[in-house]
């Protein structure tokens, strides 16, 4: 039995960039066990000038994603910091795709339900093709910044790396 399996871990439903093993590995230095899942009653939005999505309640919506299993307390704190002040971690029920098992898990929900910058539907496959590389690089910067005495938040780190306030598509500064 591993040390991780002896501790009570947390399960977390992820629906955006955290579905990507590269991003998770940069943050946690490992890729936890995971399973595909569906969250009903929510919609996944694009966010103007951002490369990551958010979700908000929507009675007719359905969001696909993954459940990361066995997240430690320290990892959950790091993920809370990564999601920063824009999100609240909420308890939700998801259904695992392979087994139809229902699970109570945490997920990150956008705080500002009336945000005018939310629109459309965010697409994971599109993100992987066009934005993953830059996002992984920005995530590495976030991890490096956390080691500094006056660490920047994820929002500040990403604003430094991406032109989020200057252009429509939020491309990296060096592109």
pTM comes to 0.84
Listed residue (13, 101, 22) closest to 64, CA to CA: 13
Rounded to 5 degrees, φ, ψ at 117 are -85, 0
Sign of the CA dihedral 123, 128, 113, 70?
positive
Classify 10-122 by CATH class: alpha beta
Taking each continuous run of H as one helix and of E as one strand, the counts in the chain are 6, 6
What pLDDT digit, counting tens, does each position of 78-113 carry? 999 999 889 999 999 999 999 999 999 999 999 999
Tokens of 97: 């795709």
Among 1-10, 17-26, 40-49, 143-152, name the one with the lowest average pLDDT: 1-10
Residue with tokens 């999601």: 83
155 vs 19, residue with greater confidence: 19
**Cβ neighbours around 147 below 10 Å, total:** 7
- On the question of pLDDT at 1 being above 90, the answer is no
Q: Domain limits of the chain? A: 10-122
pLDDT range class, residue 69, cuts 50, 70, 90: very high
| Spatial contact of 15 and 61, defined as CB atoms under 8 Å apart | no
Query: What's the CA gap between 143 and 165, in Å, rounded?
Result: 22
Residue with tokens 């490369």: 51
Query: What's the CA gap between 46 and 26, in Å, rounded?
Result: 23
Told to judge if 121 belongs to the known catalytic residues of this protein, a careful annotator would answer: no
Query: By percentage, how much of the chain surpasses pLDDT 70?
Result: 81
- Strand, helix or coil at 102? strand
- Residue tagged active-site, from 6, 62, 75, 83: 83
Of all helices (H) and strands (E), which one includes residue 10? strand 10-14
| pLDDT attached to residue 157 | 67
DSSP, residue by residue, 124-173: HHHHHHHTHHHHHHHHHHHHHHHTSTTPPPHHHHHHHHB-TTTSSS--BT
| Averaged pLDDT, 35-64 | 96
| pLDDT attached to residue 149 | 74
What pLDDT digit, counting tens, does each position of 125-175 carry? 999 999 999 999 999 988 988 887 777 666 666 666 665 444 344 444 443
| pLDDT attached to residue 160 | 65
**Cβ neighbours around 94 below 10 Å, total:** 25
Tokens of 86: 């824009």
- On the question of pLDDT at 14 being above 80, the answer is yes
């Amino acid at each position: 039995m591993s040390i991780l399996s002896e501790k009570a871990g947390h399960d977390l439903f992820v629906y955006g960039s955290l579905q990507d093993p590269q991003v998770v590995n940069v943050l946690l230095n490992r890729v936890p066990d995971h399973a595909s899942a569906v969250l009903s009653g929510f919609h996944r939005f694009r966010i103007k000038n951002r490369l990551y999505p958010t979700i908000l309640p929507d009675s007719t919506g359905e969001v696909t994603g993954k459940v990361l299993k066995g997240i430690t307390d320290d990892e959950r704190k790091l993920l809370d910091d990564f999601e920063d002040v824009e999100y609240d971690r909420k308890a939700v029920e998801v259904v695992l795709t392979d087994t139809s098992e229902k699970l109570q898990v945490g997920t990150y929900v956008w705080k500002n339900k009336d945000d005018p910058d939310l629109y459309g539907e965010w697409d994971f496959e599109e993100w992987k093709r066009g934005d993953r590389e830059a996002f992984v690089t920005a995530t590495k910067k976030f991890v490096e910044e956390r080691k500094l005495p006056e660490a920047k938040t994820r929002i500040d780190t990403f604003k430094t790396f991406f032109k989020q306030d200057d252009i429509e598509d939020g491309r990296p500064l060096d592109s």
